[in-house]
Amino acid sequence: MRPFEFTRAESAADAMRLAGDGATIIAGGTNLLDLMKLEVMAPQALVDINRLDLGDIDEAEGGGLRIGALVRNSDLAADRRVRDAYPMLAEALLAGASGQLRNKATTGGNLLQRTRCYYYYDTAMPCNKREPGSGCQAIGGITRLHALFGASEHCIATHPSDMAVALRALDARVEIQSQDGVTRMLPLGDFYRLPGDTPHIETVLVPGDLITAVLLPAPAGARQTYRKVRDRASYAFALVSVAGVLDVEDGRIVRPALAFGGVGHMPWRNPEVEALLEGEAPSVDLFAEAAARLVAEAEPQGGNAFKIPLLRRTLQAVLRELTEA
């Protein structure tokens, strides 16, 4: 770990100013500190935002919740309103990391956690995400954790968060304050970026931006689930995960929203698959068609080819579960 400056921000303005001057924001530190010890990240300065007043969950106008960026993953998962109206979000949170980590991890930090690509963590390896222009050593290497969708020849990493997958299916928006006083609200699909030829730039945030909250709209559907498939029963990142929300009205699927984890550089969504389901009567054939549509454009890397049948099967099971009685 390199020596760094450490400042505790007393106000959001403080934090944004320091971050604008190049300091890295630290919240729970559960990802950032690991990366700093390995010198995968080597910030000159840290600005600690834990004293900011961003730790509440409030009811928003018109239904929905406003989740402060510093709300801990454990607290969010335990919140009565979340458990009642957004059960899949609670499930996704509890499927992640471990109890100790969730007690520290924050909503903002969780969204911005870095990939778990093995090569990213090893500073001896070329990695465009860590060191732009150095190459991608994962390609041709061990790719069990890597992406099926939206990857590029420069990076095939996945985003590891469970929470973000649920949020994407729930049409959550990220509230961002910037130094010039402007507040933006971005759906996750616009917040995250695909790797393209700049895999080191993962979101649309610019230095000095501060995530202040995540906004959840009123729940789109009552039927929700988060299903995570992984290499052991707990404490492992998703190989694939499916977050699904829908309703069934008059025997037909309405307002389906599906997001997929472990398969892309961002929580993945495919509007075609949702369109295919909208207004249809649930059936085994329909689910098979939806799953086939989803994986049709998958581009496996060798070691992750198994994710194609796995994702197909998991999606079908999730749809069965969501549409059963």
Partner 1 sequence: MTVHIRMDDRVEADRLEDMAQGVVGKPLDRPDGARKASGTAAYAMDSLPDGACFGVLARATIAAGRLEGVDAAAVEALPGVRAVIVDERMLRNPAQGMAGKAPVQDPHEIAYFGQPVALVVAESFEQARHGAIALVLRLEARAGAVVGPDDAGVEIETPEKKQQSSGDLDAAMREAVFGVDQTYTTPVHASAAMEPHASIAQWDEDRLTLRGSYQMLRFNRAELADALGIDEKNVRILAPFVGGGFGSKLGIAPEAVAAAIAAQRLGVPVAVPMSRQQVFEGVMRRSETTQRIRLAAGADGRLTGIGHEALVSNLPGEKFSEPVTQATPFLYRGENRVIGHRIARVNRTCAGSVRAPGEAVGVTMLEIAMDELAAAAGIDPVELRLRNIPDEDPTQQIPFSSHKLAEALRSGADRFGWDRRRTEPGQVRDGEWLVGMGMASAVRVNMLVEAKARVSLSSDGHALVETDMTDIGTGTYAILTQIAAEMLGLPMDRVETRLGDTDLPPGSGSGGSFGAASNGTAVFMACEEIRRMICERFGCEAHDLTLKDGRAIAGNRSVPLAEILGGEDLVAEGHAEPGDAEDKVRQATYGSYFAEVGVNAVTGETRVRRMLGVFAAGRILNAKTARSQCLGGMTFGIGMALTEEIFHDPRDGHIVNRDFAEYHLPVNADVPQIDVVLLEERDAWANPLQAKGIGELGICGAAAAVVNAIHNATGVRVRDLPATLDKVLEGLERQGG
Binding residues vs partner 1 (CB under 8 A): 1-3, 37-39, 116, 118-119, 121-124, 137, 140-142, 144, 229-237, 239, 306, 309-310, 313-314, 316-317
**Of these, 9, 16, 23, 32, which contacts ligand FAD (CB under 6 A)?**
32
Instruction: Output 145 or 277, the one with its CB closest to ligand SF4.
Output: 145
Instruction: Output 266 or 277, the one with its CB closest to ligand SF4.
Output: 266
The residue among 217, 216, 210 whose CA lies nearest residue 176 is 210
Output the smallest distance, CB 5 to partner 1, in A. Answer: 15
Strand order in the sheet with 65-68: 57-59, 65-68, 210-216, 173-177, 183-187
Q: Is 8:48 a contact under the CB 8 Å cutoff?
A: yes
161 counts as binding ligand FAD under rule CB under 6 A? yes
Instruction: Output 156 or 266, the one with its CB closest to ligand SF4.
Output: 156
Q: Residue 156: name its binding partner from ligand SF4, partner 1, ligand FAD, none (Cβ under 5 to 8 Å by kind).
A: ligand SF4
31 counts as binding ligand FAD under rule CB under 6 A? yes
Backbone angles phi, psi at 215, to 5 degrees: -105, 125
Q: Residue 136: name its binding partner from partner 1, ligand FAD, ligand SF4, none (Cβ under 5 to 8 Å by kind).
A: ligand SF4
224 counts as binding ligand FAD under rule CB under 6 A? no
161 counts as binding ligand SF4 under rule CB under 6 A? no
Q: At what angle do helices 307-323 and 284-296 cross, to 10 degrees?
A: 140
Neighbours of 104 (CB within 10 A): 17
Q: Is 57:71 a contact under the CB 8 Å cutoff?
A: yes
Q: Which helix (DSSP H) or strand (DSSP E) does residue 128 occupy?
A: none
Q: Is the dihedral of CA 116, 108, 268, 82 positive or negative?
A: positive
Q: Residue 104: name its binding partner from ligand SF4, ligand FAD, partner 1, none (Cβ under 5 to 8 Å by kind).
A: ligand FAD
Backbone angles phi, psi at 175, to 5 degrees: -95, 125
199 counts as binding ligand SF4 under rule CB under 6 A? yes
Instruction: Output 70 or 157, the one with its CB closest to ligand SF4.
Output: 157
Count, residues near ligand SF4 per rule CB under 6 A: 14
Output the smallest distance, CB 133 to partner 1, in A. Answer: 19
Output the smallest distance, CB 116 to ligand SF4, in A. Answer: 9
Q: Is 264:307 a contact under the CB 8 Å cutoff?
A: no
The single-letter code of the amino acid at 74 is S
31 counts as binding ligand SF4 under rule CB under 6 A? no
Q: Residue 81: name its binding partner from ligand SF4, partner 1, ligand FAD, none (Cβ under 5 to 8 Å by kind).
A: none
Complete DSSP assignment for 267-301:
-B--HHHHHHHTTPPP-HHHHHHHHHHHHHT----
- Positions in 291-310 near ligand SF4 (CB under 6 A): none
| Structure tokens that stand for 164 in this block | 């973000």
